[in-house]
Amino acid sequence: MKRRDLVKKPEVSGYRMVRRGTHRIYEKNGSRPVQVPDHNEINEYTAKAILKAAGLN
């Protein structure tokens, strides 16, 4: 999955990027921060785990 496609889902639900390095950190009030690797392609299993951590399925 492309990173830009993965990042759209948390952003639409209210997450915003707060830091950028080897991982991009997204935060939302009342929720745990979510880390997204700064790669062009993200493994499907990793993408599913990121969305699950964000509470998005």
Residue extents of the structural domains in the chain: 3-53
**What are the CA-CA distances from residue 53 to residues 26, 47 (Å)?**
11, 10
Q: Is the dihedral of CA 55, 13, 37, 34 positive or negative?
A: negative
Question: pTM of the full predicted structure?
Answer: 0.88
- The whole-angstrom separation of Cα 45 and Cα 1 is 10
* pLDDT for residue 34 is more than 90: yes
Return the CATH class of domain 3-53: alpha beta
Helix (H) or strand (E) holding 47: helix 44-53
32-55 mean pLDDT: 95
